[in-house]
């Protein structure tokens, strides 16, 4: 695994002239980034490409983070994976006076891009991943549904076997 890019960026040189630009590029650590249906695997790095541009009272950040993700297919429940690109567009101000909270503060002469990068990646993870667009669902050849006998139970899919052990009624207490 390559070393990661420092996401705390010093602005001293950049802010000497409004409109000046600086590029930040390299691998970033994304451990622990996940939603309920997908995650960035532990030890996986993303690739950041961003441009910082100085303003008279802050800095804008624009760029992308490319990363790989893993998850379970929403139809067949098999593991699936893919890559995604998260867009970053943020404004950091010396004194953010935005009531909507859209502006981020500059901390002294430093901006911290880590929360921005992680939030962009979270928002780009798939909420309902598919292993492929034409996924037919849980193995229809292995678990056919017969309509000949309407009272017959179809065979249980073994991947759902743990649910059969759940007891929603629980133990009952006898009344005195």
Each residue's pLDDT tens digit, 60-107? 999 999 999 999 998 888 999 999 999 999 999 888 777 777 788 788
**How far is residue 42 from each of residues 32, 33, 125, measured CA to CA in Å?**
7, 9, 15
Please say if the pLDDT value at position 139 is more than 70. no
* DSSP 8-state secondary structure symbol assigned to residue 150: T
Residue 11 CB neighbours (<10 A): 19
Q: Looking up tokens 């297919």, which residue turns up?
A: 73
Residue 73: strand, helix, or coil = coil
Please say if the pLDDT value at position 16 is more than 90. no
Q: Which residues pair with 46 in a beta bridge?
A: 28
Q: Are 117 and 88 in contact (CB under 8 A)?
A: yes
Per-residue pLDDT at 89: 95
Considering only CA atoms, give the Rg of the chain: 25
Of 42-46, 82-86, 100-104, 140-144, the one with minimum mean pLDDT is: 140-144
The mean pLDDT value of the chain amounts to 84
Per-residue pLDDT at 31: 87
Strand 110-112 and strand 58-72: pairing?
A: unpaired
What share of the chain has pLDDT > 90, as a percent? 42
Phi and psi at 146, nearest 5°, equal -95, 130
**DSSP alpha helices (H): ranges in 10-155?**
114-124
């Amino acid at each position: 695994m390559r070393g990661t890019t420092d996401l705390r960026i010093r602005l001293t040189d950049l802010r000497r002239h409004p409109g000046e630009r600086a590029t930040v590029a390299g691998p970033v650590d994304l451990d622990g980034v996940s939603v309920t249906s997908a995650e960035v695997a532990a030890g996986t790095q993303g690739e950041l490409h961003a441009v910082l541009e100085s303003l008279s009272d802050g800095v804008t950040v624009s760029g992308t983070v490319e990363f790989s993700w893993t998850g379970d297919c929403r139809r067949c429940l098999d593991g699936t994976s893919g890559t995604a690109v998260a867009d970053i567009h943020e404004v950091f101000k010396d004194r953010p006076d935005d009531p909507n909270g859209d502006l981020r503060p500059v901390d002294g002469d430093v901006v911290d891009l880590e929360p921005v990068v992680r939030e962009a990646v979270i928002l780009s993870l798939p909420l309902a991943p598919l292993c492929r667009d034409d996924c037919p669902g849980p193995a229809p050849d292995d678990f056919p549904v017969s309509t000949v006998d309407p009272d017959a139970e179809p065979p249980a899919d073994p991947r759902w076997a743990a649910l059969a052990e759940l007891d929603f009624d629980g133990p009952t207490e006898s009344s005195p």
